[in-house]
Amino acid sequence: MDPFESIKQTFFQECDELLTDAEQGLLDMESGTADSETINAVFRAVHSVKGGAGAFGLEDLIRFAHVFETIMDELRSEKMELTNVVAKTLLRAFDVLADHVAAARDGGQVDEARSSGMLDELKALIGAEGMEDEAADPDEDFGFVPVVLDLDEPGGFVSLDLPEPEAGLPVLEIPAEPEVANGVWIIKFAPGADMYAKANEAGLVLRELARLGPTEVTLHDETLPALDLLSAEQAYFSWTIRLTTEGDEASIREVFEFVEDDCKIEISREGGAPVSLETEPAEEISDDDAKARASAEAPLDLDALLARIGAVPTVEAVAEPVPESTPAPAPAPVVLEAIAEPEPVAVVAAPPPVIEEPAQDVAALIARAQTADVPVAPAPAREKAAPAAASNTPQPAAAATIRVDLDRVDRLINAVGELVIQQAMLSQRVTESGLARSSNVALGLEDLELLTREIQDSVMAIRAQPVKSVFQRMPRLVREVADMVGKRVRLVMDGEGTEVDKTVIERLTDPITHMLRNAIDHGLETPDERTAAGKPTEGVVKLRALHRGGRIVIEVQDDGRGINRPRVRGIAIAKGLITEEAILTDEEVDNLIFLPGFSTADSISDISGRGVGMDVVRRSIQGLGGRITISSEPGKGSKFTMSLPLTLAVLDGMVVTAAEQTLVAPLSAIVESLTPRMEDVHYVGGKDAVIRIRDSFVPLIDVGVALGFRDTPIHAASGVAVLVESEAGGKAALLVEAIQGQRQVVIKSLEANYQQIDGVAAATILGDGRVALILDVDALVTAQHRRKPAARSEKRLAG
Amino acid sequence: MTKTILTIDDSRTMREMLNHALVEAGYRVIQAVDGIEGLEVLQAQGADVVITDINMPRLDGFGVIEGVRADPNHRATPILVLTTESDAAKKERARSAGATGWIVKPFNPVKLVDAVRRVAA
């Protein structure tokens, strides 16, 4: 893939994470639990989004993120107070920011009116003056605004009276390139001590100049003091460079970009007036800058330096490093004790010999480290840095995670599935072979079994993820829905860390979304109604996840009006879902809302309904092998509870025999099993059987026939009926010959290995090595219902 | 000899961009996700040039500069600060702390490599 595209993908992935963190931080800010680090983290997240957006030229995103970032910056520097209003505005702005990211990713459009309205709101928060420097200018160049030295400034560099290169100093000739229409420039370059302290090197600058064209470099070492007066901290050398180049002054100046604040530069055309530094505005030197310079240029306290390094007498100053230029006189080892008078060194701007790294003398380094007060370092940051630098045990910076392609995990899971099966087969064979339970083989096998299970659990855990990824999308949804219906809602989430298989997670979003919408739209009252009912105007919706009995349970609870049972009942009767005489318990009435075609909304509401009812929710949950129930108390609220398997890779099944085939029925679909009594079985049209189970008739499906293993159904009384419920809520009794037992089976996809078969969901391999088909209960029941609309006895459920 | 560049940035996107541009230019790149890790990696592996972001969790870019300059083994290591800030104050603060140079985001690879070359011996 194009590296640029690949990095862009990384950017959007990262955006997701950043936005997630930012939203959490903003929520904390809203609830008042945020500390300064939270605000900082949000700032950084938005800042990173903007930074990346800048790299990809995502203008709209940059503009919006910039304003957002500005506010976060005001907040973190406490120029602005974090009020609830601010936090709420930021949360809404966050939604727009997320839209911008999504639009940038998917090439879509952001609602322009909403975005600019939000921008205005944000700008209003800080007041217009805060935004004046709206350098949202993504073209902010790679360069910088030069901060220029004012040579007359007290404490500024003392101008060196540099001799002209002709003054008979040794000159290093760089082979000249063919003459072009070039300008010849005379550049005077006098580094200050500071330049070296920042790890800039004169040699590199000269090298860069040489890239522009042929240079003649002259070294000035006049200020080099006697060796015994030489300070490793000072700068003593300067250079005059005669440069022939096609480039203009700007390109020359660019070479000095990093160093120009720490050295004196004069650039002039040969024979012309110096195009010197005065040509540029000098007002940009900040106070800090001046202070930094002042402190940097203060004479070094050599007495103090000597005192500190007293034990180490010599400092070896190493030859000057510029290969292209004149070699400096090789300094001999300097005995520091010999220094009599520090004053001469205090002459500012005398270039020192550059200390070459490999030969660095420890004492010199210590001396520099201890006395060179050059960086005006804020103390706290330094304290923070020091222990870190000192610690030798690397600690993981972020959560120790790796990203792995899902395919690889699935391959592993598949292999482990095979392992489990193989292990079960092996156990069975060993048992069959008559080896004693206490034999070494059997004991070893037992250990193997434990180990296999452990591996299986661990591998499943790789796919397990906290439901957080789904939960975290909900606050926004709740805000939006609440806005739309004019209700005040507080969402309380709990158990975000609860883990469940990735596939399950992906498919949880829709049901949870739907239930939350439903809770806000139907469950909660309007603020006025709530006040009238003596409740706080703000309704509370709780979203909770927990593990219970090897399944994950998700609850959505509201403190609203509860289910209006008489009304639900009325609707169910009106829609023919129940008979008028039906006697239902409260719970049964509540659960009527899950029936297909039931919707209590007077008009189909875009918010909770999108034209579908709770039956869709139930169906999708059942599709995951889950169940959903509701409990409700009038005036106090309702609670939806869904329970789902933790994984879709393993299934709890009931192993049955039909037409000599071993089949597996998913336990989640099974309501009960019973032995049919002949008097309960009736034949509709002389062929299709129905069975009476308590008060209702359900189709009796001979599984062997339905799957085509045989043509004629077995005698009902000789088999076992397994009452199942489809995802759609349709019931049927599956007639099989026998029930073998219950067990957990590893699901093997049929489509991947063979092809899809009607009535069969997947396959598994049993301990004896036989392949068993897993029944697709939904398909079986639906097929039956389709064939015989008359058998749709569901209506008589409670009749 | 191949020069090693240590890039310190909490943004994975930025790390990848730096990595891409620098590796393309023939440098060896090591990465760290925040200031503390940056200093640890520098101590453990060393580097010829450090490129650091300013805004980072745990320890920001200023802290990195100070940490590097306080470390006798690396105080002569060039440090480029990488930041979207165009305002002079921040850059000045970085310089005062001992930054060798800077790269203003968004950068183009040529400019980046140029800046690295300008400080790498």
Confidence of residue A339 (pLDDT cuts 50, 70, 90): very low
Taking 60 as the threshold, does the pLDDT of residue A265 lie above it?
yes
Q: Would you tell me how many other CB atoms lie within 10 Å of the CB of residue A207?
A: 18
- The per-residue pLDDT for A540 is 92
Q: Mean per-residue pLDDT for B71-96?
A: 79
pLDDT recorded at residue B60: 86
Tens digit of pLDDT for each residue in A660-678? 889 999 888 888 898 888 8
> Residues in chain A, how many?
799
Residues 6+ apart with CB under 8 A from A247: A212, A213
> CB atoms < 10 A from the CB of A569, how many?
18
A369:B59 CB<8 A: no
| B-interface mutation test, from A1, A2, A48, A356, most B Cβ less than 10 A away | A48
Q: Across the interface, which of A11, A140, A382 has its CB nearest the CB of B104?
A: A140
Instruction: Determine, for residues B12 and A51 on separate chains, whether the beta-carbon distance falls below 8 Å.
Output: no
pLDDT at residue A428, rounded to an integer: 78
pLDDT at A108 over 90: no
> Mean pLDDT lowest for which of A53-57, A110-114, A591-595, A783-787?
A783-787
Please report the pLDDT score of residue A736 as a whole number. 93
Question: What mean pLDDT comes out for the span A89-107?
Answer: 86
Q: Which residue of B has its CA nearest to A365?
A: B72
Averaged pLDDT for residues A558-580:
85
- Token representation of residue A346: 């205090």
- Name the minimum distance, in Å, from the CA of B86 to any CA of chain A: 7
pLDDT tens readout for residues A23-81? 888 888 888 887 888 888 888 888 888 888 888 888 888 888 888 888 888 888 888 88
Architecture per CATH, domain B4-120, reads as 3-Layer(aba) Sandwich (3.40)
Which of A384, A391, A392 should one mutate to test binding to chain B, selecting the residue with the greatest count of B CBs within 10 A?
A: A384
Q: For A371, left (φ over 0), alpha (ψ -120 to 50), or beta?
A: alpha
Does the pLDDT at position A114 exceed 60? yes
**Overall average pLDDT of the A336-350 stretch:** 42
pLDDT higher at A596 or A193: A193
Smallest CA–CA separation between A141 and chain B, in Å?
7
Q: What is the pLDDT of residues B42-69, one digit of tens each?
A: 888 888 999 998 888 888 888 888 888 8
Would you state the pLDDT for residue A677? 87
Shortest distance, CA A7 to any CA of chain B (angstroms): 6
Nearest chain A Cα to B107, which residue? A142
Pairing of strands A489-494, A539-548: parallel
Confidence label for A275 from pLDDT (cuts 50, 70 and 90): low
Assess contact for A505 and A646: CB atoms under 8 A: no
CATH code that applies to domain A3-136: 1.20.120.160
The answer to whether the Cβ–Cβ distance between B104 and A135 falls below 8 Å is no
pTM confidence score: 0.48
Third-level CATH fold of A650-798:
SH3 type barrels. (2.30.30)
| DSSP per position, A576-599 | TSS-TT----HHHHHHGGGSTT--
User: What's the pLDDT score for residue A610?
Assistant: 43
The answer to whether A375 contacts B97, with C-beta atoms less than 8 Å apart, is: yes
Nearest to B67 by CA among B45, B105, B98, B92: B98
Give the pLDDT confidence score for residue A721 in this predicted structure.
92
Confidence at residue A1, expressed as pLDDT on a 0 to 100 scale: 60
Nearest CA in chain B to A145: B88
- State residue B84's pLDDT score: 67
As a whole-number percent, the residues of chain A with pLDDT over 70 amount to 71
Contacts of A212 in chain B (CB under 8 A): none
Nearest to A147 among B88, B93, B107 (CB): B88
Residue written as token pair 């304003």: A67
Is the Cβ pair B71, A389 closer than 8 Å?
yes
Kindly list the residues from chain A whose CB atom is less than 8 angstroms away from the CB atom of residue B71: 389
Euclidean distance between CA atoms A795 and A291, whole angstroms: 87
Measured CA to CA, the distance from residue A294 to residue A288 in angstroms comes to 10
Tell me the H-state helices in A169-309.
193-197, 202-212, 249-255, 287-297, 302-309
Give pLDDT tens digits for A238-258: 888 888 888 788 888 888 888
Residue among B64, B95, B120 minimizing CB distance to A261: B95
- Supply the pLDDT for residue A755: 73
| pLDDT tens column, A144-176 | 333 333 334 344 333 344 444 444 444 444 444
The distance of A340 to chain B (nearest Cα, Å) reads 28
**pLDDT digit string, tens, across residues A348-394:** 444 444 444 444 444 444 444 444 444 444 444 444 444 444 444 44
Nearest CA to CA, how far is B2 from chain A (Å)? Answer: 17
Report chain B residues whose CB lies below 8 A from the CB of A392.
43
pLDDT the model gives residue A139:
39
- Compute the nearest-CA separation of A11 from chain B (Å): 5
Confidence of residue B86 (pLDDT cuts 50, 70, 90): low
pLDDT at A20 exceeding the cut of 70 = yes
Alpha-carbon distance A698 to A683, whole Å? Answer: 11
Give this complex's ipTM.
0.82
Q: Which of A333-342, A452-461, A584-593 has the lowest mean pLDDT?
A: A333-342
- The structure tokens listed for B96 are 């005062």
Q: Where are the alpha helices (DSSP H) in A496-629?
A: 502-506, 509-518, 527-532, 565-574, 586-591, 614-623
Average per-residue pLDDT in chain A? 73
Does A127 or A689 have the greater pLDDT score?
Answer: A689
SS3 call for A731:
strand
Residue B99 has pLDDT above 60, yes or no: yes
Answer yes or no: do B14 and A386 touch at CB < 8 A: no
How many Å lie between the alpha carbon of A298 and the closest alpha carbon of chain B?
Answer: 15
Q: How far apart are CA A146 and CA A130, in angstroms?
A: 24
Of the candidates A133, A144, A397, the beta carbon closest to that of B91 is on A144
pLDDT range class, residue A786, cuts 50, 70, 90: low
> What pLDDT sits at residue A686?
65
- Give the three-state DSSP class for A443: helix
C-alpha A354/C-alpha A205 separation (Å) is: 13
How many Cβ contacts (< 8 angstroms) between chains A and B? 198
The domain at A467-645 falls in which architecture?
2-Layer Sandwich (3.30)
The arithmetic mean of pLDDT across residues A222-235, rounded, is 81
Determine the pLDDT at residue A145: 31
Domain boundaries of chain A, sorted by first residue = 3-136, 183-392, 406-464, 467-645, 650-798
- Cβ-defined contact of B75 to A3 (cutoff 8 Å): no
Q: For residue range A490-540, what is the model confidence (pLDDT) as tens digits? A: 899 998 888 888 878 888 888 888 888 888 888 888 888 899 988 888 899
Q: State the pLDDT at residue A399.
A: 55
